[in-house]
Amino acid sequence: MTKHYQNEITKLKKDILHVTALVEENLRAAVKSIIERDPVLARDVINRDIEIDNFEVELEEEGLKILALYQPVAIDLRFIIAVMKINNDLERIGDLAENIAERAISLARKPDMPVPFDLNGMLAKVMSMVKLSADSLVDMDPRIARNVCEADDEVDECHRQTYRVVIEELKNKPENTHYLIDLLSVSRNLERIADHATNIAEDVIYMVEGEIVRHQNFEIHDDLA
């Protein structure tokens, strides 16, 4: 292939890493806005999502242009397909971070009450998954990616426990309904973010090894947990 083609591939990798950093930063701010009950920070998250959306469109156009002009094969084809799928998952994480920021604004308007489940623990697990999925992409490391896939089960269980706790709280304290529904929405958005982080990890494995690993079971490596 030509030098121009290689430059296009290099630019595509650089751009997907840039979008990854933007999404991770905005999610981190959304999480902080929940913990600190900061509506100003939450509005910043919402306003920045348009930048992520624009990059997502530009990157998809880049990938389609390379496919059309150069008709890549083998590992390059795998790379471009995986990047385009990862790009879509990153945009969805950005949207879900925006949803969390909207809930942060709503919660900040309500009296500060105890959270009846381990929200901080769930936030930490999901942020770790997103960071590790980004690390696996940067380092092209399928071992890290497999660790992300395994962690998804833990977040799913956190959300199931949250749902059970919130339902019980709704029965006992119906006057807190709006507050509890906001919290449940945060949990649901976090669970969906974990799913998208898992998708990214699976695509990294496909990109590096050419193996489709959806619906497989994984074991956590102790040195990566």
Q: What does the pLDDT look like over 158-211, one tens digit per residue?
A: 999 999 999 999 999 999 999 999 999 999 999 999 999 999 999 999 989 888
Average pLDDT estimate for 11-33: 94
Q: Tokens 């308007």 — which residue?
A: 109
**For residue 223, what pLDDT band results from cuts at 50, 70 and 90?**
very low
Q: What is the pTM of this model?
A: 0.89
Q: What does the pLDDT look like over 104-131, one tens digit per residue?
A: 999 999 998 888 989 999 999 999 999 9
Question: Cβ-count burial of 5 within 10 angstroms (0-12 exposed, 13-18 middle, 19+ buried)?
Answer: middle
Q: Which CATH class is domain 3-209?
A: mainly alpha
Distance CA 190, CA 127 (A): 9
Q: How far is CA 218 from the centre of its chain?
A: 19
The torsion angle over the Cα atoms of residues 197, 122, 19 and 220, rounded to 10 degrees, is: -40
Sorted by where each begins, the domain ranges of the chain are: 3-209
Q: Which residues contact residue 201 at a Cβ distance below 8 angstroms, ignoring those fewer than 6 apart? A: 132, 133, 136, 144, 145, 146, 147, 148, 149
- Residue pair 83/12 in contact by the 8 Å Cβ criterion: yes
